């Protein structure tokens, strides 16, 4: 069946007539939507919308994450012909997932972008779909958090990252990928006492009360222990998961703006994500993929898998 479908399927992002099921379109051909899901702005009947937030004007070092959504979509094309490994079910067949495309914005007005992201994500949530975003630099998460908190109330956060992103910033006009979490806590939309940051390996004197499982600790204990600790912190609170690709060591994710050695390996991230099954995940993102600094698409490939794992986490409690 798969071989016969591969002979006839093309541009499945536009030509598929349903929102569920695998795709056997040739990996190297056709329009690259995320996991070959249908591109659509019509969210009727959609359980989950994946959207791109191609903004990278808040970086402190290397730019290029504006190209991340496109690269992650292309990297995802290896996955939609099979059920995600290790979950025991096929999220693509059981849930209606759509690619909502990218958010439009004026690149010359960066100060307006956080509010536009909040409105964009809020519109998806108001339509009844869950929202998972592909960045973009990590500043895009602030608008996502605001939109989710407006719907679900203050959030717990699970943040995979090399940096805490809680550097002090009391200027509301600034847009910065290293201070957005400070802003989120000060606005009361994130509860740091029920949030956890995994993979941290840069110094920041003010962590605002976040529970931190730094990279050396992840390496020193079992991955099941790390996942269990994160689940214990979050409990049954509504949760948002943000994955900065620099949580991975540069050996596994060279294409990012602020790489830091000593990070997580791909297999560690995969095991921890799967070990989080059962959390009340409301939404999430993967950010900071910078294709100009990538090699052989390895960073984008990792990010595509991270996003797929998030979709599996979301659906785990809704099957």
The answer to whether 288 and 65 have CB atoms below 8 angstroms apart is yes
- Dihedral, CA of residue 232, residue 237, residue 241 and residue 247, to nearest 10: -30
Paired strand residues for 239: 156, 281
Contacts of residue 202, defined as CB under 8 A and 6 or more positions apart, other chains included, come to 162, 163, 164, 260
The answer to whether 286 and 245 have CB atoms below 8 angstroms apart is yes
Cis peptide before 17 (omega within 30 of 0): no
- C-alpha 138/C-alpha 159 separation (Å) is 11
Provide the sign of the torsion angle of the four alpha carbons 9, 14, 17, 20, taken in this order: positive
Helices 266-275, 298-316: inter-axial angle, 10-degree rounding: 10
Per-position DSSP letters for 68-103, written without gaps between them: HHHHHHHHGGGSTTSPPTTSSS-HHHHS-EEEEEEP
219 labeled part of a ligand binding site: no
- C-alpha 276/C-alpha 295 separation (Å) is 29
161 labeled part of a ligand binding site: yes
176 labeled part of a ligand binding site: no
- The residue ranges of DSSP E strands in 199-247, in sequence order, are 211-213, 238-244
- C-alpha 141/C-alpha 135 separation (Å) is 8
163 labeled part of a ligand binding site: yes
Nearest to 156 by CA among 167, 148, 164, 165: 148
294 labeled part of a ligand binding site: no
191 labeled part of a ligand binding site: no
Q: CA-CA distances (angstroms) from residue 286 to 61, 301, 305?
A: 18, 12, 10
Instruction: Output the known binding site.
Output: 138, 161, 163, 165, 244, 246
Instruction: Output the known binding site for Mn(2+).
Output: 138, 161, 163, 165, 244, 246
């Amino acid at each position: 069946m798969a071989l016969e479908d591969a002979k006839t399927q093309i541009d499945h992002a536009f030509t598929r007539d349903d929102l569920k099921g695998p795709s056997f379109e040739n990996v190297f051909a056709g329009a690259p939507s995320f996991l070959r899901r249908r591109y659509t702005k019509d969210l009727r009947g959609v359980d989950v919308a994946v959207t791109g937030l191609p903004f990278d004007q808040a970086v402190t070092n290397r730019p290029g994450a504006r190209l991340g959504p496109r690269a992650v979509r292309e990297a995802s094309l290896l996955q939609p012909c099979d059920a995600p490994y290790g979950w025991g079910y096929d999220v693509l067949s059981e849930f209606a997932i759509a690619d909502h495309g990218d958010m439009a914005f004026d690149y010359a007005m960066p100060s307006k972008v956080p509010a536009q992201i909040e409105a964009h994500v809020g519109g998806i949530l108001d339509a009844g779909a869950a929202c998972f975003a592909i960045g973009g630099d990590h500043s895009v998460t602030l608008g996502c958090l605001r939109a989710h908190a407006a719907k679900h109330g203050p959030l717990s956060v699970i943040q995979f990252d090399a940096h805490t992103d809680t550097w002090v910033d009391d200027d509301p006009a600034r847009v910065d990928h290293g201070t957005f979490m400070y802003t989120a806590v000060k606005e009361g939309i994130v509860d740091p006492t029920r949030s956890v940051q995994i993979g941290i390996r840069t110094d920041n004197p003010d962590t605002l009360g976040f529970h931190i499982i730094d990279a050396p600790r992840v390496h020193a204990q079992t991955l099941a222990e790390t996942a269990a600790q994160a689940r214990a912190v979050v409990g049954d609170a509504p949760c948002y998961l943000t994955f900065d690709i620099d949580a991975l060591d540069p050996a596994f994710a060279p294409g990012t703006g602020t790489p830091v050695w000593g990070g997580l390996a791909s297999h560690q991230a995969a095991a921890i994500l799967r070990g989080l099954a059962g959390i009340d995940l409301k939404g999430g993102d993967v950010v900071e993929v910078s294709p100009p600094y990538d090699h052989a698409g390895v960073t984008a490939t990792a990010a595509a898998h991270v996003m797929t794992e998030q979709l599996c986490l979301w659906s785990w409690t809704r099957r």
